[in-house]
Amino acid sequence: MSNKVYIETYGCQMNVADTELVMGILKKNGYELTKLADEANVVLLNTCSVRENAEQRIYGRLGNFKNMKESKPDLVVGILGCMAERLRRDLVEDKKIVDVVVGPDEYRHLPELIDVAFGGGKGIGVRLSRTETYDDIIPYREDGLQAWISVMRGCDKFCTFCVVPFTRGRERSRTLSSVVEEIKQLSMRGFREVTLLGQNVNSYLDNENDFADLLAASAKVDSRIRIRFTTSHPQDLSEKLLYTIAEHSNICNYIHLPVQSGSDRILKMMNRTYNIKHYLGLIEKAKRIIPGVSFSTDIISGFPTETYEDHVMTLDVMRQVRYDGAYMFKYSPREGTKAYKMEDDVSEEIKTKRLQEIIELQQQISFEKNQELVDKEEIILVEGKSRKSDQFLSGRTDTNKVVIVPGTDNIKEGDFIKVKINRATSATLFGDFVEFVFPEDNEIALTA
Ligand code: 5AD
Ligand code: SF4
């Protein structure tokens, strides 16, 4: 009987992509995947350390598996990802139920490390690597429309609040040719959207090819595949990249550009390496080069020493940029980071209040921006039936907004259609079908 593995994934899209990589590795080694924890003899949690509450949730989940293990003593329980790296042996010693601890650069060795656990030992692999990119490993993906592809790993930015440079190690990039090859395979399987992932994709470098070159080569593979990418650091967002986005109709006009704070003093303490003038200049430049571009961002409220004035500056930046969306967090001190040594002196109450104001402002901006789209036409990729009703279809614009349209027999998943927006809330647009859109066929790139 073959071994059955069940994996749960927490945290960012990089982890979602890593889980597919892990499944690719395990499948190749004879494992079957299961969606039911009860059926599995190996349970893996791919974890996130970026904020304290993520880790707390995962500890809670480990408690559930502890119960499972009591009735099934042979069950192997493993921790993968950032928490594995951060907590290493403590996990095995403190939480005795953990048999396998494998950090993000040691997934290749997972089959051997699970074997160690089957033999009654502890399988530990937490070394970080300067070179591992898993370039040659084919991730396991179910059929679908949308795929994540990690194109670089690690981060060298060392923002003072962030644990990622410690848990995922130094920056390194995959080869351009392997990414293009992966997109070709996805094209043949009928995928319609690919998101290129990295903690800091703009630092991508494969010999003389930078991220703009990678985006251009990716876009050329299949004009019916939309290309998205995340995350961009304001320091490295080049003019060349902006022109590349503008030149290719299947690269989405959407940039996730975390600002973190609107206060230059706080940005300096965060080691973000830009100030607000520079950031807003970049936004203006992008708007000039890419007509209709929109932005999303990450914001942290309550970083050490943040005053009410600093907080108001964050709200100001939000009003100036008018983001389409934002991921908004309360500052969470992470051991090992530079900010951890600073006093976490903004009270929980104030952090919560400021975060609430940030969320409310973003909702208002999203609502207003969506209202501006009423009576306008948008192209969407149809992703399937709407969650609320079988009579309606759901898709997304290239700026990542969800649009709901009445379904008809001839509109299918994976179609690009033009719709006219007739109504909007802060989260969703509603529209009517106008016509089908057929991106011209130029299937396979010459660049590979
Ligand atoms: N506390 C709160 N938010 C954080 N982020 C990263 N580290 C922390 C932290 N210690 C946020 C940043 C980053 C996003 C992925 O998570 O906004 O851009
Ligand atoms: Fe963390 Fe900053 Fe790197 Fe993003 S750029 S992963 S916030 S250190």
DSSP states of 67-123 as a string? HHHHH-TT-EEEEEEHHHHHHHHHHHHHSTT--EEE-TT-GGGHHHHHHHHHTTS-E
Q: Phi, psi (5° rounding) for residue 277? A: -60, -45
Per the confidence metrics, is the pTM higher than 0.85?
yes
Expressed in angstroms and rounded, the spacing between residue 374 Cα and the centre of ligand 2 is 36
For ligand 1, atom 13, name the residue with the nearest CA: 298
For every one of its 448 residues, what pLDDT tens digit does the chain have, with 9 covering 90 and above?
A: 689 999 999 999 999 999 999 999 999 999 999 999 999 999 999 999 999 999 999 999 998 998 898 899 899 999 999 999 998 867 777 767 899 999 999 999 999 999 999 999 999 999 999 999 999 999 999 999 999 999 999 999 999 999 999 999 999 999 999 999 999 999 999 999 999 999 999 999 999 999 999 999 999 999 999 999 999 999 989 999 999 999 999 999 999 999 999 999 999 999 999 999 999 999 999 999 999 999 999 999 999 999 999 999 999 999 999 999 999 999 999 999 999 999 999 999 999 999 999 999 999 999 999 999 999 999 999 999 998 889 999 999 999 999 999 999 899 999 999 999 999 999 999 999 999 998 754 444 333 3
For ligand 1, atom 18, name the residue with the nearest CA: 298
For ligand 2, atom 4, name the residue with the nearest CA: 199
- 12 within ligand 2 shell (Cβ under 6 A): no
Output the CA angle 385-391-396, nearest 5 degrees: 40
Element (H, E) at 335: none
- Give residue 94's pLDDT: 72
- Give residue 445's pLDDT: 38
- 162 within ligand 2 shell (Cβ under 6 A): yes
- Ligand 2 pocket test target in 159, 204, 231 with most atoms within 8 Å of CB: 159
Decide: 203 and 236 in contact? Cβ < 8 Å: yes
Expressed in angstroms and rounded, the spacing between residue 380 Cα and the centre of ligand 2 is 31
Q: Torsion angle of alpha carbons 86, 337, 267, 315, nearest 10°?
A: 50
Give the chain's domains with CATH numbers.
4-125 (3.40.50.12160), 146-371 (3.80.30.20), 377-447 (2.40.50.140)
- Give residue 1's pLDDT: 67
CA-272 nearest atom, ligand 2: 2
Q: Residue 411 and residue 176: Cα distance in Å, rounded?
A: 35
Q: Could you tell me what percentage of the chain is helix, strand and coil, using 3-state DSSP and rounding each to the nearest 5? A: 40, 25, 40
Q: Which ligand is located closest to the Cα atom of residue 11? A: 1
Q: Which ligand is located closest to the Cα atom of residue 164? A: 2
- The tens digit of pLDDT for each residue in 77-132 reads 999 999 999 988 677 777 678 999 999 999 999 999 999 999 999 999 999 999 99
CA-330 nearest atom, ligand 1: 2
Q: Which ligand is located closest to the Cα atom of residue 201? A: 2
